[in-house]
Amino acid sequence: MGGGSRALTDLLDQAKARPQALDEDARTTLLSLEDPDELAALFAAARELKERYCGRTVALRGIIEAGNVCVKDCRYCGIRRSNANLERYTLTADDIVRLARLDARLGYASLVIQSGEIEGETHTAFIEDVLRRIAPLDLGVTLSLGEQTEETYRRWRQAGAVRYLLRIETSNPDLYARIHPADHDWNRRVACLAALRRCDYQVGTGVMCGLPGQTIRDLARDIGFFAEIDADMIGMGPFIPHPDTPLGDEPMDAKRRLSLGLRMIAVTRLHLHDVNIAAATALQALAPDGREQGVRAGANVVMPNITDTKFRRSYQLYAHKPCLDENAALCRGCLERRLQAIGETIAYGQRGDSLHYRTRAKK
């Protein structure tokens, strides 16, 4: 193993020396690691880079799940429009504003408003009104509301949103077509990411790790896609089948899926250096300390749920979602203890904007 270890050390040193130093073959090699010692070296290198750019701190973003009504019918998602085993809900503007105020009181200084995908003037104006009402709180607001027109993105940006997360799910158009019905368009999703950049958002994207038919090279190319679109933040999660979906019977090896998700975090950090990377809640569905493992692998953002507990069971995109009955205050205390246990502090009162975005804006 000596020669292999030397080669791995050289590859990791190369990755740490400058951004985007890993070609597709190198990314594939790192994503294929399984030896425990080699994985430890990979994660240590990624965490070293995370600390170089973000310190030993983690930014928190309170998630508001604003509604589970969705026009999309993705074959993996629990809130897909064809799922009849689901009680639909939509929060009122007053509900969202109340939760944004809670986010501010908790000291997160940053929040995410996410929902199923809806298009149209009524929805656009609704979100626009919510954003203007919460603007005085001076929170860093991320939207995750799916594909929209560029005009809608621009209106929401002008109303106060600063970040937008639109996961590509996979950069392989053929694989995308296999996990979505025919009326879903990969090219439109890519076009929306370009529109978000033109509207001056901090642009976020990401993929699912472990999709049926997905290869390690697909994932290596996904990381290349993140670099190609100059993404500012990455939100990735393991593919966890939801029972009420066409992909619900896909086999699931939690340990291997978790390892794959952690490797994706680490190699993305090593390739992109200064982007924000989230330790997805889905990691905790695979292991009780999954999110902490994500931070140790190079993530710097964690997103606690601040939605009222009575709605959380109706917003399960994947199976075994954690923290369904834990209120926001309990979640804050739990996260603080968990992160302290791995030597991290929480950046209370800081919006946690993407360093990559700030650096580009100065050019």
Q: What is the predicted pLDDT for the residue at 321?
A: 85
d(CA 225, CA 208): 14
Average pLDDT over residues 309-316: 90
Angle at CA of residue 353, ends 349 and 354, nearest 5°: 150
For the chain, domain boundaries: 26-362
d(CA 272, CA 29): 17
Residue 117 has pLDDT above 60, yes or no: yes
CA neighbor of 197 nearest in space, from 226, 177, 159, 220 = 226
3-class secondary structure, 85: coil
Q: What is the predicted pLDDT for the residue at 325?
A: 79
Max CA separation in the chain (angstroms): 63
Q: What is the predicted pLDDT for the residue at 139?
A: 97
Q: Are 319 and 17 a contacting pair, CB within 8 Å?
A: no
Q: What is the predicted pLDDT for the residue at 100?
A: 97
| Tokens matching residue 141 | 């607001």
Q: What is the predicted pLDDT for the residue at 4?
A: 65
Give the pTM: 0.96
Tens of pLDDT, residues 227-245: 999 999 999 999 998 999 9
Please say whether the structural domain 26-362 has been given the CATH code 3.40.1410.10. Answer: no
Average pLDDT over residues 55-59: 96
Q: What is the predicted pLDDT for the residue at 333?
A: 86
Tell me which DSSP letter residue 60 carries.
E
